[in-house]
Amino acid sequence: MAVVTGGRRGLGAALVDELLARGARKVYATARSAYVDDRPGVVTAELEVRSAESVASLAEVAADAEIVFNNAGVLLPAALLTGDLDSATETFDVNVFGPLRVARAFAPVLAASGGGALVHMHSVLSWLAGSGAYGASKAAAWSVTNSLRVELAAQHTQVVGVHSGFIDTDMVSALDRPKASPAQIAARIVDGVEAGHTEVLADDVTVGVKAALSGPVEHLTIPAA
């Protein structure tokens, strides 16, 4: 049994498809508003990751979960110096504290299943400057994931951080850059989870950027389109 936050569309929907294709008996797929998925094995649920009460309600409904995919996120236009501060605050609340709320609520659920797995969707922008509050939030989320891995080790929970470049979803539809298909990335993520990995670098761009982390920090910026 698995939970996929933000499972209605984009990468989340591809993860739901991939899990079902690999034999998952039940997948809880969430969105901010109610929706219908008539496929056997899919249980849809409303979730607002900014609300501790909403997250707690989901943990009660999905008390049989063995894997949780923290996929829900937002991409808002928010430059750090000149952008709207409310947008930056919402970006951090959804992309950083949202997954943390989910992790805190589901840690006991995963422990009851023998440990299970917690999978967090990051981005190559976790390591590249120049994308304002979004990139900063993904860098913070990466750090949160790494610390959760330490804190959840005692209960034998596999904590996986996923990094990828641009994926062909609605979130980045306006960007004129090469993009991977959601299905391709979803398959690589599930491959990594099944293999017991703690980090999934889902494309060649991400592999290259990760290797550059040992170099000068001024080189870690988004390349021009």
Mean pLDDT of 126-152: 95
Task: Dig out the tokens for 63 from the structure.
Answer: 């008390």
Per residue in 61-97, pLDDT tens? Answer: 999 999 999 999 999 988 999 999 999 999 999 999 9
State the pLDDT at residue 69: 98
Domain 2-219 sits in CATH 3.40.50.720: yes
Q: Is 167 left (phi over 0), alpha (psi -120 to 50) or beta?
A: beta
Asked if residue 224 has pLDDT above 60, the reply is no
pTM over 0.85: yes
Per residue in 157-204, pLDDT tens? Answer: 999 999 998 776 665 555 555 667 899 999 999 999 999 999 999 998
Q: Is 138 left (phi over 0), alpha (psi -120 to 50) or beta?
A: alpha
State the pLDDT at residue 79: 93
The dihedral of CA 53, 18, 167, 43: what is its sign?
negative
Q: What average pLDDT does the chain have?
A: 92
Task: Provide the 8-state DSSP code for 127.
Answer: S
State the pLDDT at residue 214: 81
Per residue in 10-43, pLDDT tens? Answer: 999 999 999 999 999 999 999 999 999 999 999 9
State the pLDDT at residue 170: 61
